[in-house]
Amino acid sequence: MKQTICWFLAFLVLFSGVSLGRSHAAENQEWTNPYLDVNENMWSYQYITELNKADVLPGSEKFEPTQDENRGNLVLYLYNMDQGVFKKREKAAKEKEEMAVPTFTDVEKDSTLYDAVCWAYQQGLVSGATEDTFQPDSLLTREQVCTILARFAALEQIPLIQVTNTDQFKDSLYIQEYARSGVTACQISGVIKGYDNGFFRPEENMSRQEVAAVIYRVMAAASTSIPEGVTLVDLSPGAYDSLYDSYTDIPFTALVPASEEEGPISFFDKAVFIGDSISLTLESYCGASGALGNAQFLCAGSMSPSNMLTGKILPEYPKGSGQKPPIEDSVAACGAKVVYVMLGMDNIAYGLEKSTGDYVTILNNIMAKNPDVQIIVQSVTPMAETSTSFTDKLNNDAINAFNAKMQEICQQNRWYYLNVAEKFKDENGFLILDYCSDKTSMGMHFTYDGAKVWVNYLKYHIPEDLL
């Protein structure tokens, strides 16, 4: 019942915001969408267009909704709202005399941002990036946006209704101290939410359409009638800091342990496998047998992280279309919630720093486009003793070092690490010949028998949190 009431209140907030936007639009019946790249099929269409109608977002030919938002634009939007939508609203604003006009060397007086930056600085919404610079082009993180919006709501005396409980995110303790109350205020008011996998990802950048959405929700809250008996969010500085004293660091072990029971095949219906030629055998076997249900595959021969970043080699998606979009776009189009990745064999010879660095860039690109997905990195499998591909830079020692570094990186980023390689090593650490399809040449690819063992390993190593 409580949850139902909360969602009802959240609906009131959004509904009232629509009314606010429409009342402004009524004053200008000839409004037309100025953005060539914003259309009604976008999830953010209402937020962007209503803010433009309210003269919060400036008009231009392109809004670039998926680009990351910056500091300068955010303070401009809030300044426009303060001077326009909330111009007659009573505020607890500071007098300008209390704080000197900032003299940032990177915001000139003739800049379109100058008045907004001075106002935001004087009202305590933002500070300089350094003593002398504002850095308007610096990108915004989720925790920064929450902090600024909570301060703005307090400045404008906007009542935010508490619509959900103060639940801990898996990474709440990774939120910087200055931002904790702001994040909590935005969380419990429904201005922002965490991801489906339980993370908030405080240091993740926010896109322009995401920032538009949260700004709109704050603007909408200003015209909401407050029902009796509801709890309002405390917007005073540090109001929720004490909550974090009771939060505990949620244990996370990157290495996925074996389970006693076989996981359900249906789990893989929400999974996509990304890999090079080694994974092509797994794709072929699963396509023929249905061993992993409706799992999807984005694989291509010689597809290394470096080749993917340059666009030289990418998997085709949709299959048969001839199209090869960036991997993060293909993952989004798949609708996958779990991403298994095995890459690296074609990069290891470049050295540990570059091979792991490019890999991490690929994974970060996937996460930026698909923040709700969970990453599961599969270890690179060993080479057979009879392989003709051994060099001083590509060998099992180099593979082992690469795998160890990737497991460490997974622990830092809270990505799961699946040690598939352990299932395919003989007593000397080489790829078991019975599982190798090219034992007299490259000595690294799999037979269907090997793929069958691989599938069984996957079924018994599903992260418990994801079931």
Q: Got the DSSP string for 222-247?
A: TT----TTPPBP--STTTTTTHHHH-
The Cα–Cα gap between 343 and 275 comes to: 6
Q: Which residues is 272 bridged to in the sheet?
A: 296, 339
pLDDT value of position 94: 56
What pTM was computed for the model?
0.73
Can you say how many angstroms the Cα of residue 134 is from the centroid of all Cα atoms in its chain? Answer: 26
Decide if 388 contacts 349 (C-beta within 8 A). no
- Owner of token pair 């000397």: 428
Mean pLDDT of 10-38: 60
pLDDT value of position 346: 87
Question: How does pLDDT run across 108-117, given as a tens digit for each residue?
Answer: 999 999 999 9
pLDDT value of position 29: 60
Mean pLDDT of 306-324: 95
Element (H, E) at 155: helix 142-155
Model confidence band, residue 93 (pLDDT cutoffs 50, 70, 90): low
Query: How high is the mean pLDDT of the chain?
Result: 91
pLDDT value of position 59: 85
Q: Would the pLDDT of 419 be above 90?
A: yes
pLDDT value of position 99: 61
Query: Which ranges in 230-386 belong to alpha helices (H)?
Result: 243-246, 277-289, 305-310, 327-334, 352-369
Mean pLDDT of 74-87: 94
Question: How does pLDDT run across 345-385, given as a tens digit for each residue?
Answer: 989 999 999 999 999 999 999 998 998 899 999 999 999 99
Model confidence band, residue 151 (pLDDT cutoffs 50, 70, 90): very high
Please report how the helices 180-188 and 142-155 are oriented relative to each other, as an axis angle in degrees rounded to 10. Answer: 80
The Cα–Cα gap between 165 and 193 comes to: 12
pLDDT value of position 51: 97
DSSP assignment letter at 440: T
Q: Would the pLDDT of 4 be above 90?
A: no
Question: How does pLDDT run across 239-280, given as a tens digit for each residue?
Answer: 999 999 999 988 889 999 999 999 999 999 999 999 999 999
Q: Would the pLDDT of 22 be above 60?
A: no
- SS3 call for 463: coil
Question: How does pLDDT run across 333-346, given as a tens digit for each residue?
Answer: 999 999 999 998 98
Mean pLDDT of 285-306: 96
Provide the residue type at 303 as one letter. M
Structure tokens of 3? 């949850």
The Cα–Cα gap between 83 and 162 comes to: 27
Rg (CA), the chain: 26
